[in-house]
Structure 1
Amino acid sequence: MTPGDLDTLISSIAVDPVAMILVGLALLVLVILIIGTFFGYFRVLLNIALFAYPVARVKAVGNPFVTRSQAEALAESGSFSEFLTVLMESGAGPQIPENTTLEGVEKILETWHYQEIQKMGASLPDAIRPFFSAYIGIFEGEQIIAALRSVYSAGIRPGAPAHIAEIGCITPALIDSIGESTDIKDLISRLQGTPYVAPLAAAFPEYEETSSIGPLESAVRLYVMKNLNASKGRVDPAVLPAVLAFTGVYADVTNILTLLRAKSRNLPLELVSLWLVPGGAYYEEWRLRQIYESARPADILRQLEGSEYFHVLEPLVQVPGSSIDLGACELTLDRYMLAKATGLSSVYHLTGGPLIKFAVSRKYEMRNLRIFFHTGFEMRTLEEALPNLVLQEAVS
């Protein structure tokens, strides 16, 4: 082949430089997409690996006291001592000496519940840790509300102070100090150093004006919900759907119960509006205010038609004008919350779902055991406790 022939061959296969650039860019985009897809899958696999141990642990520990089989086994106990034996043999509950007082049982159950959540938290990956740090605030806030109610009630009808458990910022020294409170203002001053003093101090003028503890309880719930909502921005996107699903339902249920309680006392809308927590899955605050304009609690429930909440609460709605059993509403919504948490465990079974289900179930396990103990201490048949329990089989 002569040099002329070689030049002719090269010229025949020459490519336009612009076309070469376009082909190069296309290849670069393809490589980036392949790498991005790979790292996307890698991130998913990494999250699954990080959640493998804590998920396996909570599944192994389980939540037996929200199952009907375990509840019936406890209910069939022929005596209180036999009940304690069945509880101990389950291997999953707290250790309670036979001669423990009811107040002592309350303390043991609260401590057991809190420690169980802490144990789970010790193995949590950073991807979901901010949510559970905020979640513990729910129970911390409940203790503050219990303290508020105890001091408030003492000024109206003196009685035994409420039991306050050691949770989060609530130390033994603070519990002793709370017990010495003379009134609400004094109690708030004793909460210095905790995150609750600021919201309570802000709500105190409204408490004085209305003589209702509602503004103070609402201030605590709003603070807790604010932290829960803030945690959504600090968790990994991979676990965010499960967190959003829980916090949304929790906010809705809290608001529905607020509306029902307030309507049963005929409180004004202007006041109730201040108590609504943000972040609901179905209902924004403007819609909740509309719902509250209903004449009666039963009418509030009817305004929920079209939502899952109406589906579970519908059996409680009687003929127009009839009263609504608030206790039955709370029990029904508790069962609904357990059902939702169980559903999350199935949908997000490799990451946050089982952890949320475990934590929510532990709360209701504590509640169920408390009901059993109260039934026993009141010398009633333990089977009488069954209709009041929150069980997985009790929801659909």
Structure 2
Amino acid sequence: MSNYAYVATRARSRRSRLLPAEAYNQLLNLEHAEIARYIQDLEYRREIDRYGSTLSGADLIETALVDNLAKDVGDFLSFSKGKLRDILHVYAEKYRVDNLKNIIRGINQNMDKTNLERLVCPINDSDKDLYNKLYDSKTVEDVIASLEGTAYFNPLKKALESRNSDSLQPLEDALDLIYYRNLVSNQPSGGADVEVYRNFIHLKVDIANIKTLLRMRHRGISAHNELLINGGSISIDLLSSTQSLDDLLTSLEGTKYFELLEPHLQKDSVDLNSCVHSLDEHMANKTKRFSYLYPLSVLPVLDYLLKKEREVYNLRAIIRGKQAGLSNEIIEELVVV
């Protein structure tokens, strides 16, 4: 039996302790050591204390952020029971896919184990064991070979063999397809609590498909429709028939997505970053609304995790931007609030 009320209460409690939007302007004017002390007084004390004797500056903060996010995901998996836990277990595959992407990118850039660990958030001990094996890889091919016996091996091997360049995009696309197909095919049956989760999945799949087409159509690619995912509210046939960004925008007329994208897809000005930002903002707002309308569902947890991911992303953008010597104005453009 699912324990929605208990887990939703934990999610709302943690959500109340996230950084308010106005805090990011304050952080822009602090040095790394001051930022570390600031977040230590929030939810990151355990991680700052744990790594403070061996790391400092941006490395300390980034490691603490990634570790704390992994702990949060693991906590909610352990808090949950029944159908709720099953749903979260499938959703949490997102973090494993992101971890594998980061490892593949890192190995491709000849990163050492220490730097790779700062990019990865293992959810449990079995993840840690797998990633420790992957850190020793010398090439991307070694990473994929080490994944033999997992659900990732065959799709990645096929993508590696069929790619026409050294680009990692086909490998990342293969990982995304694994995640989304698993998400769509493992929807539980049930009442209102499950129905709102289905709506969330439709939204997530729609946005993933639109992002894929934005990337491809902007580069003049009209093929590779196998990268589109069934399970959204927008017809795959309709989306795959588009040949350009104009076609894509036309296919979305009458939907909220048209309103979100149209200002950024003008004939004389195409801004894909703003498109992605608008889609992500829409996802966050809809998830928040779902969480309030359906408090006894998985949505309060998903709403919290999306907000937590955003907080970690923003803090990493600030510390790495400062480390790179970027101006506050440029860093502000990277921060999503």
Fold similarity call, TM over 0.5: yes
> CA contact under 8 A between 1:181 and 1:187: conserved in structure 2?
yes
Structure 1 CA distance, aligned partners of 2:230 and 2:184? Answer: 8
Equivalent of 2:40, from 88, 103, 111?
Answer: 88
Instruction: Please give the alpha-carbon distance, in whole angstroms, between the structure 2 residues aligned to 1:199 and 1:212.
Output: 16
Q: How does 1:231-270 map to 2 (within 5 A)?
A: 231-233=186-188, 236-269=190-223
Paired residues of 1:331 and 1:388 also in contact (CA < 8 A): no
For the residue of structure 2 that corresponds to 1:280, the secondary structure is coil
C-alpha displacement at 1:189, in angstroms? 0.6
Unaligned 5+ residue runs, structure 1? 1-45, 392-396
**1:131 has 2:77 as partner:** no
Query: How many Å separate the matches in 2 of 1:176 and 1:120?
Result: 24
Q: Partner of 1:333 in structure 2?
A: 279
Q: Which runs of 5+ in 2 are unaligned?
A: none
Deviation string for 1:60-90 (max 9, x for gaps)?
A: 1215546323334434x44333333332233
Distance in 2 (alpha carbons) for counterparts of 1:313 and 1:182: 41
Q: Which residue of 2 aligns with 1:147?
A: 103
Which residue in 2 is equivalent to 1:79? 31
**3-state DSSP of counterpart to 2:90:** helix
Give secondary structure in 1 for the equivalent of 2:241: helix
Q: Deviations over 1:76-119 (max 9, x none)?
A: x4433333333223346774349525345433322211210111
Alpha-carbon shift at residue 335 of structure 1 (Å): 1.6
* Per-residue CA distance 1:110-132 (angstroms, 9 max, x = gap): 22112101112222231221111
Indicate if the aligned counterparts of 1:188 and 1:200 stay in contact, CA closer than 8 A: yes
- 1:58 equivalent to 2:6? Answer no
User: Is structure 2 residue 326 aligned with structure 1 residue 386?
Assistant: no
> 2:157 — aligned with what?
201
Residues 275-325 of structure 1 show CA distances to partners (whole Å, capped at 9, x for unaligned) of 1122113x122111013x12xx3553354222112222232122x2x3523
1:284 to 2:235 alignment? yes
Contact 1:109 1:366 in 2 (8 A): yes
- What's the secondary structure of 1:68's corresponding residue? coil
- The equivalent of 1:374 in structure 2 is 320
Please give the alpha-carbon distance, in whole angstroms, between the structure 2 residues aligned to 1:327 and 1:136: 26
Mapping of 1:114-129 within 5 angstroms?
114-129=70-85
One-letter code of the match for 1:241?
E
Asked whether 1:165 is paired with 2:116, we answer no
User: 1:215: Cα distance to partner?
Assistant: 2.9
Aligned residues: 329
Q: TM-score when scaled to structure 1?
A: 0.73
Any idea what the Cα deviations from partners look like across 1:183-234, whole Å, max 9, x if unmatched?
4333211112332112212333322x4654333222211111122113313x
Distance 1:108 1:173, change over 3 A: same
**1:15-69 per-position Cα deviation (integer Å, ceiling 9, x unaligned):** xxxxxxxxxxxxxxxxxxxxxxxxxxxxxxx96xx32211111111215546323
Moved more, 108-117 or 324-333: 324-333
Whether 1:273 and 2:222 are equivalent positions in the alignment is: no
**Matched residue, 2:171:** 216
Counterpart for residue 252 of structure 2:
304
Question: How far has the Cα of 1:352 moved from its partner?
Answer: 2.3
Tell me the SS of whatever aligns to 1:239: helix
In structure 1, C-alpha distance between the alignment counterparts of 2:74 and 2:122, rounded to whole Å = 10
Q: Partner residue of 1:25?
A: none
| Structure 2 CA distance for partners of 1:175 and 1:102, relative to 1, 3 Å | farther
How many percent of aligned residue pairs carry the same amino acid?
22
Contact 1:63 1:365 in 2 (8 A): no
Tell me which amino acid in the other structure corresponds to 2:298: G
CA separation of 1:287 and 1:210: change in aligned 2, threshold 3 A? farther
Q: Which moved more, 1:56-65 or 1:168-177?
A: 168-177
Cα pair distance change 1:257/1:51, threshold 3 Å: same
Aligned CA-pair RMSD: 2.9
Q: Give the aligned residue type for 2:159.
A: A
The 1:68/1:298 distance shift into structure 2, 3 A limit, reads farther
Q: Could you tell me the TM-score, scaled by structure 2's length?
A: 0.85
What CA distance in whole angstroms lies between the structure 1 residues aligned with 2:213 and 2:200? 20
Larger radius of gyration: 1
Q: Supply the distance in 2 between the matched residues of 1:177 and 1:383 (Cα, whole angstroms).
A: 40
Counterpart code for 2:302: I
Quick one: which amino acid aligns to residue 69 of structure 1?
Answer: E
Correspondence for 1:107 among 35, 60, 63: 63
Q: Of 128, 140, 143, which residue of structure 2 is paired with 1:184?
A: 140
C-alpha deviation, 1:257, in angstroms: 1.2
CA 305–65 in structure 1, closer or farther in 2 if over 3 Å, else same:
farther
